[in-house]
Amino acid sequence: MSSQKQIQHLARQLFRLSLADGRLSDERVAGVLEYVEKTKPAHATAVLKAFHRLVAAEVARGQAVVEHAGPVSAETLQSIASSLTKRYGRPIAAASRPNPALLAGLRVRVGDDIYESSVSGQLSQLAAAV
């Protein structure tokens, strides 16, 4: 196995150990980090970087980043979170992030998926179509 594959393999193993009941657990992540510090595996930095990428992707899967141009009420955020939780079948928390570049409307990001309902998004779609 090449070193790159070994790194990926170990990072995936560590990631699996970080899950409790299919969800990321803070305690387990801390435990994994402690283990890496103690054992110092070959290419430790690369392993940790790969591990970080996997954890970041998992965190993003459970979080809906709601970008908005105007004010967004707590109820709206709550309704977005509950509808996405229903859609994906896993708990998703909503976090608001103001973004005036959107001009108006919302853009919600959950993991790799983006739900675009903003004026800037529609304008760029229009520009691509013309």
Partner 1 sequence: MSTVLEQIEQQIAKLQNKAVKKNTGTIRSVADGVARLDGLSDVMYNEMIEFPGGTIGIALNLEEDEVGCVVLGDISKLKEGDECKTTGRLLSVPVGKALLGRTVDALGNPVDGKGPVDAKEFYPVEKIAPGIIVRKSVTQPVFTGIMAIDSMIPIGRGQRELIIGDRGTGKTTIAIDTIINQAKINRVGLASGDPKFRPMYSIYVAIGQKNSNIVRTMAALEAAGALEFTIIVAAAASENPANQYLAPYSGAAMGEWFMENGMDALIVYDDLSKHAVAYRQISLILKRPSGREAYPGDVFYLHSRLLERAARLDGKGSLTALPIIETLAGDLSAYIPTNVISITDGQIFLETDLFNQGTRPAVSVGLSVSRVGSAAQIKATKQVGGKLKGELAQFRELAAFAQFGADLDARTKAQLDRGTRIVELFKQPAFNPIPIEQQVVTLWAMQKGYYDAIDLKKVNAAAVKLREFFATRKDALLTKIRNKAALDAELEAEIKTAVDEWKATYAG
Contacts to partner 1 by CB under 8 A: 8, 12, 53-54, 57, 106, 108, 111-117, 121, 125, 128
Q: Which is nearer to partner 1, 31 or 111 (CB)?
A: 111
Which 8-state DSSP code applies to residue 111?
A: T
With a CB cutoff of 8 Å and minimum separation 6, the contacts of 39 are none
Q: How far is the CB of 130 from partner 1 (least distance, A)?
A: 12
Q: How far is the CB of 26 from partner 1 (least distance, A)?
A: 22
Q: Which is nearer to partner 1, 29 or 116 (CB)?
A: 116
Q: How far is the CB of 94 from partner 1 (least distance, A)?
A: 14
- Residue 30's H or E segment, with its range, is helix 26-39
Q: Which is nearer to partner 1, 5 or 38 (CB)?
A: 5
Q: Which is nearer to partner 1, 34 or 57 (CB)?
A: 57
Q: How far is the CB of 40 from partner 1 (least distance, A)?
A: 24
Q: Half-sphere exposure of 90 toward its Cβ, with a 13 Å CA cutoff?
A: 14
* Residue 8 near residue 39 (C-beta atoms within 8 A): no
State the CB neighbour count (10 A cutoff) for residue 111. Answer: 15
- Using CA atoms, how far residue 107 sits from 11, 14, 57, 90, 114, in Å, is 32, 33, 18, 20, 7
